[in-house]
Amino acid sequence: MEALPSSFRDNSGFVFSHSGCVYRQVNRCYAEHYQNFMSSGLYQKLVEKHWLVSHEELTDGTITGTSDCYKILKPQQIPYISYPYEWSFSQLKDAAILTLRIQHQAMKHGFMLKDASAFNIQFLDARPVFIDTLSFEPYVEGRPWVAYKQFCQHFLAPLALMSYRDAELSKLMISHIDGIPLSLASKLLPLRTRLNYALAAHIHFHSKLQQDHADDAGTGTAARATAVTISAKGLTGVIESLAKVIEKLRWKMPDTEWGDYYQNTNYSSRADDEKHALVESFLQDIPDALNTVQDLGANTGEYSQIAARYCQLVLSQDIDPVAVEMNYRQRKSDGPSNILPLVQNLVSPTPAIGWGNAERSSFMERAHCDALLALALIHHLAISNNVPLDGIAAQFAELTKWLIIEFVPKSDSQVVRLLATREDIFPSYTREGFEQAFCQFFQIERAVPVPESERILYLMRTR
């Protein structure tokens, strides 16, 4: 049995995969904390609130752990692992508030979170859930929150940067796996954030204190600092202060290319209705049971909502953080909840990061699905980004068995717009060229022109 590459930081246990399921080993050194956590009522409370994944303890001996094993847990399975740099502003904000609520609730039960990593949060049924059952340790009154710095780096700094500067700055977490360094956040945030007490304290002054005490290891100051004692009321005040500042952070969404896309398509209302009906009938034509559907270039998730009726989970991915934000807000308020909106740039998708490039996996490692929707997408890949058609076909064939794809020809006004300012170096970008490229990897099951438009919708199956 081997721990997953992401599971090595905490010596309390590790996560491993066995026959397609994820399990967690509790190490002997954490046995007492685990038993206390389970019997304290906190686990029950958090699971009832859907804040923490539930688990069952394996007692049948079907899986034996390492020599250090105290217990093997089978947690509620998470169908798709996403990362904070793929979340929209509100997703990261909800994840941050959830972390603080768990810490607050834990303190009431005599526990505290020993880490506050954004990677400990996943999305299930359109809401965040905490997945690390071994993150709880007894709260000893007087001790400061050991994960405070990590919380500021993983949540407060990216949220403040997204709110005050640009939503794209959450991508800094790709180059900084343990959260955005506060010195960097402090440099990037505008001057006016120094006038906000909470941001001034938790980011700017925090960064300065970190720098001032960077070389304290082994000195009297460090010894005194590690012995700092804070009353429970004081610590609750710190948590409240973080919750308040995060709750107040807003993201003023810019008007982007896609933000109002559905209001600005070149479709007539009949074409739009027909396209909906076609996508639905193609999904019905797929004979296989669908677990996961990828909707790539999903915009605000209009077609994801159709797909959601035919599968367990739709990964509704788009390059535009505004569209993803709108998608998430709608899913949260109106459902369906089996859609997970994520920010994904297909022409440069999420890389694998961390130790050995293996701690957090790449988009391609996670993206395998039963069916893939690529609606109004091909021209962005082939023309805006010059990807050859057979390259697109090869990549889609690597990801899925079933493909629902829309071909948008050069005569379509959206492609005319893309080619208006550049030389047309795409002689093979035609219906024939498209079919030829895709037929190397797929078999065309259906090809139907979308009425009152220049476009053709295909249902394909890998060869």
Partner 1 sequence: MAKYLLSALFAISFSAPAAAYLDPGTGSMILQGIIAGIAVAGLTIKNYWYRIRAFFGKETPTSLLDDDDLPKKPEDS
Give the tokens for residue 161.
């940067």
Q: How many residues line the site for partner 1 (CB under 8 A)? A: 71
Compute φ and ψ for 3, nearest 5 degrees: -65, 145
Q: How far is the CB of 105 from partner 1 (least distance, A)?
A: 8
Q: Which stretch binds partner 1 (CB under 8 A): 188-196, 216-224, 264-272, 453-461?
A: 216-224
Residue 176 binds to partner 1 (criterion: CB under 8 A): no
Q: How far is the CB of 233 from partner 1 (least distance, A)?
A: 6
Q: How far is the CB of 397 from partner 1 (least distance, A)?
A: 38
116 and 150 Cβ atoms separated by less than 8 Å? yes
Residue 221 binds to partner 1 (criterion: CB under 8 A): yes
261 and 299 Cβ atoms separated by less than 8 Å? yes
Q: Which of residues 284-323 bind partner 1 (CB under 8 A)?
A: none
Compute φ and ψ for 19, nearest 5 degrees: 50, 45
CA distances 395 to 46, 136, 390, 453, Å, are: 41, 42, 8, 27
* Single residue of 60, 67, 195, 228 touching partner 1 by CB under 8 A: 228
Residue 211 binds to partner 1 (criterion: CB under 8 A): yes
Beta strands in 274-359 (DSSP E): 290-296, 311-318, 339-343
Residue 253 binds to partner 1 (criterion: CB under 8 A): yes
Residue 201 binds to partner 1 (criterion: CB under 8 A): yes
Q: Which of residues 63-92 bind partner 1 (CB under 8 A)?
A: 90
Give the tokens for residue 157.
């700094």
Residue 380 binds to partner 1 (criterion: CB under 8 A): no
* Single residue of 2, 32, 168, 240 touching partner 1 by CB under 8 A: 240
Return contacts of 228-231, CB within 8 angstroms, 24+ apart: 228/144, 229/142, 229/143, 229/144, 230/142, 230/143, 230/144, 231/141, 231/142
Residue 445 binds to partner 1 (criterion: CB under 8 A): no
Binding characters for partner 1, 325-354, by CB under 8 A (x = yes): ----x--xx---------------------
Q: Which of residues 98-117 bind partner 1 (CB under 8 A)?
A: 98, 100-101, 104, 114-115
Q: How far is the CB of 298 from partner 1 (least distance, A)?
A: 19
Q: Which stretch binds partner 1 (CB under 8 A): 212-220, 343-351, 394-402, 450-458?
A: 212-220
Give the tokens for residue 290.
């669908």
Residue 165 binds to partner 1 (criterion: CB under 8 A): no
Q: Which stretch binds partner 1 (CB under 8 A): 221-229, 260-268, 312-320, 413-421?
A: 221-229
* Single residue of 25, 37, 87, 94 touching partner 1 by CB under 8 A: 94
Q: How far is the CB of 111 from partner 1 (least distance, A)?
A: 13
Q: Which stretch binds partner 1 (CB under 8 A): 215-223, 288-296, 377-385, 441-449?
A: 215-223
d(Cα 28, Cα 71) in Å, to the nearest integer?
8
Q: How far is the CB of 46 from partner 1 (least distance, A)?
A: 12
Residue 224 binds to partner 1 (criterion: CB under 8 A): yes
Chain centroid to CA 443: 32
Sequence letter at residue 444: I
* Closer residue to partner 1 in complex, CB, 145/438: 145
DSSP string for 61-124 = -SS---TTEEEEEEEPPPS----GGGS-HHHHHHHHHHHHHHHHHHHHTTEEES---GGGEEEE
Residue 420 binds to partner 1 (criterion: CB under 8 A): no
Q: How far is the CB of 151 from partner 1 (least distance, A)?
A: 10
| Residue from 322, 302, 305, 326 nearest 314 by CA | 305
Residue 250 binds to partner 1 (criterion: CB under 8 A): yes
* Single residue of 195, 227, 289, 425 touching partner 1 by CB under 8 A: 227
d(Cα 281, Cα 188) in Å, to the nearest integer?
49
* Single residue of 18, 213, 270, 309 touching partner 1 by CB under 8 A: 213
* Closer residue to partner 1 in complex, CB, 236/266: 236
DSSP string for 401-443 = SEEEEEE--TTSHHHHHHHTTS----TT-SHHHHHHHHHTTEE
